[in-house]
Amino acid sequence: MCGIVGMIGNRPVARLLVESLKRLEYRGYDSAGVATLVDGALHRRRAAGKLFALETALEAKPLAGDIGIGHTRWATHGPPTVENAHPHVAGKVSVVHNGIIENHQEIRTELVALEIHPESQTDTEIVALLLNKLLDDGATPEEAMRQVMARVTGAFAFVVMMEDCPSTLFAARRASPLAIGYGEGEMFVGSDALALAPLTRRISYLDDGDWAIISADGARVFDHHGAEVERAVTLSAVSGALIGKGNYRHFMEKEMHEHPEAAGYTLFHYNHPSNGGLAMPEMPFDPATLPKLTIVAAGTSSFSGMIAKYWFESLARLPVEVDIASEFRYRDTVLPEGGAAMFISQSGESLDTLMALRHAREQDQHILAIVNVPESTMAREADVVLPTLAGPEIGVASTKAFTGQLVALACLALDWAEKRGTVTPERSAGILKALEHLPVQMAEVLEREHDLVPICHDLSHARDVLYLGRGTSFPIALEGALKLKEISYIHAEGYAAGEMKHGPIALIEDGVPVVIVAPSDQWFEKAISNVTEAMARGGRVVLLSDSDGIARMGNDATWAFEMPDCDPFVAPILYALPVQLISYHTALEKGTDVDQPRNLAKSVTVE
């Protein structure tokens, strides 16, 4: 998604803006630009493609100026061309924007009727034109901002710079995130704390509907009624030092190698040895009498929810519904009185998930959020936050945050099972032990990563790949297929193994790879009989199982990758690793842009 930065102070900002944009690269983008004010006049540089192209443009024609705004654009309205890249300029006004202005077409028509013609196809330029028109009509900058905020609809964040105000930036937010950073004699604004990490850790977050006037020595914030308000300044936990690839080729590779820490830290957070058992956050309801849990998420996070459904149902005997956010938020859901709704999100900012959270709030559900970014909007809006301690995740395709989510969910399912009296102390202790052992077993899988390389070489020639699994391995099959599609651009389908004969089996012909996720669990025999059906039709089977499973399968699979033996309860957490690693090594074979796959964004803050 688009990334926004703005700076105002007493030193040249162009280079700093580009450095901040680099820290927002992980969000996904396809063009970029910066603008500064020099002696009260707007200047900008824009480029299609990666930031390297913008840096080249800046080298050719450097930009001076102690005040500026910058942007990485993920195209929504209009292709990723230079003309559509931000900042957009209209007369004396320059704007960078993230999100979508829903009524831009209506405003565009009105402006055109006044002979004001946009140069780009973007919704953003409409904001610049509208502001400029209001200024031309005699409005003060503050009045113009107020009027624009009242006029535009949608989910957005934007930062504005005006020639008439060489010492001021204006920022506004509705639904899309925006953080203000406080420095010494300089001020910053950005899409998240990560963008501002090396510049300052003193951050305040604008609330929904807020807009702000930012000068070098502070910010004045106004709420959606126009009343001046105080927004707390907190010390961000994000440190600039954390963000780098180290010795890894890609952030995704680095982040997969951080699975053991993500799982370990998250478990330690909920099951600290000094507590003598699980210590989950206090709930505003009694889990023993909870009628139903609704879990909502998007992308990889939704697969965590699907796995958790098996856990809450089998262990805590709790009715669970899982839904993807983009469907849930518009459905006429029937949610029980006193029910709980849980939202799972790495970023805590995915727009559909955030809107689904608000939809559930309107229906009086208790709101829980599992997030990896503690300062995120979802974290701030939830009744109870269960953090994952995976650390900043930069690769667009989510990896370690997924295992962090699963560990947090496993702890919660276990805690509620204890409170509901549906688990024996022995089983509970067994699951905790299995969770504690996970980081070591994850490290074992990572050590044998290279055994997957020949398999991936094979897969990289495939046109279609089928992923199958039963029970908690089914969402892992979905995760494997999603990841392969996302970063290697190979068509893949994830299916519940039992459903294979209701459709996907038609895809299987000589040489089609079928990846089967099959730990030795209660579903193993049935999963294997589905595999034999695939093999009978010429499918090339990649079996992911433990030593016992591989022995039971005999030599029938084309490839087998041996996983450590584990308690079936935690198997999906461990088996997330080989499916993610397979997608990574297949993408390496294909030479794709692993960390920023085409068209994808890290945090989807538009509908």
Nearest CA among 359, 305, 276 for reference residue 474: 305
φ/ψ region of 277 (left if φ > 0, alpha if ψ in -120 to 50, else beta) reads left
Residue 566 appears among annotated catalytic residues: no
Nearer to ligand G6P, 301 or 333 (CB): 301
Residue indicated by tokens 């300029």: 89
Q: Which residue is nearest to ligand G6P (CB)?
A: 299
**Strand 513-517 and strand 464-469: pairing?**
parallel
Exposure letters 351-384 (e unless 16+ CB within 10 A, then b): bbbbbbbebbeeeebbbbbbbbbbbbbbbbbbbb
Catalytic residue selected from 133, 254, 309, 602: 602
Helix (H) or strand (E) holding 220: strand 218-222
- Residues near ligand G6P, by CB under 6 A: 298-301, 345-347, 350, 353, 396-398, 600, 602-604
Cα 564 from Cα 573, distance rounded (Å): 12
**Shortest reach from residue 478's CB to ligand G6P, in Å:** 12
Cα 302 from Cα 300, distance rounded (Å): 5
**Shortest reach from residue 359's CB to ligand G6P, in Å:** 16
**Which residues are registered as beta bridge partners of 344?**
297, 370
C-beta separation of 545 from 518 below 8 A: yes
Nearest CA among 189, 132, 133, 134 for reference residue 159: 189
**Shortest reach from residue 497's CB to ligand G6P, in Å:** 23
Exposure letters 98-119 (e unless 16+ CB within 10 A, then b): bbbbeebeebbeebeeeebebe
φ/ψ region of 91 (left if φ > 0, alpha if ψ in -120 to 50, else beta) reads left
Helix (H) or strand (E) holding 447: helix 425-447
Cα 6 from Cα 20, distance rounded (Å): 9
**Shortest reach from residue 170's CB to ligand G6P, in Å:** 28
**Shortest reach from residue 511's CB to ligand G6P, in Å:** 30
**Shortest reach from residue 396's CB to ligand G6P, in Å:** 5
Catalytic residue selected from 2, 165, 411, 566: 2
Structure token digits, residue 520: 């030795």
Nearer to ligand G6P, 182 or 303 (CB): 303
- Residue 129, helix vs strand vs coil: helix
**Which residues are registered as beta bridge partners of 99?**
156
Rg of the chain in Å (alpha carbons):
25
C-beta separation of 107 from 66 below 8 A: no
Structure token digits, residue 131: 């502001």
Residue 602 appears among annotated catalytic residues: yes
**Strand 93-101 and strand 88-90: pairing?**
antiparallel
Nearer to ligand G6P, 165 or 324 (CB): 324
- How many CA atoms lie within 13 Å of 574's alpha carbon, on the beta-carbon side? 29
Q: How far is CA 391 from CA 30, 147, 334, in A?
A: 26, 40, 36
**Shortest reach from residue 142's CB to ligand G6P, in Å:** 34
**Which residues are registered as beta bridge partners of 491?**
464
Cα 219 from Cα 533, distance rounded (Å): 65
C-beta separation of 437 from 429 below 8 A: no
Nearer to ligand G6P, 149 or 370 (CB): 370
DSSP labels, 53-83: HHHHHHHHS----SEEEEEEE--SSS-S-TT
**Shortest reach from residue 40's CB to ligand G6P, in Å:** 40
Residues annotated as part of the active site:
2, 602
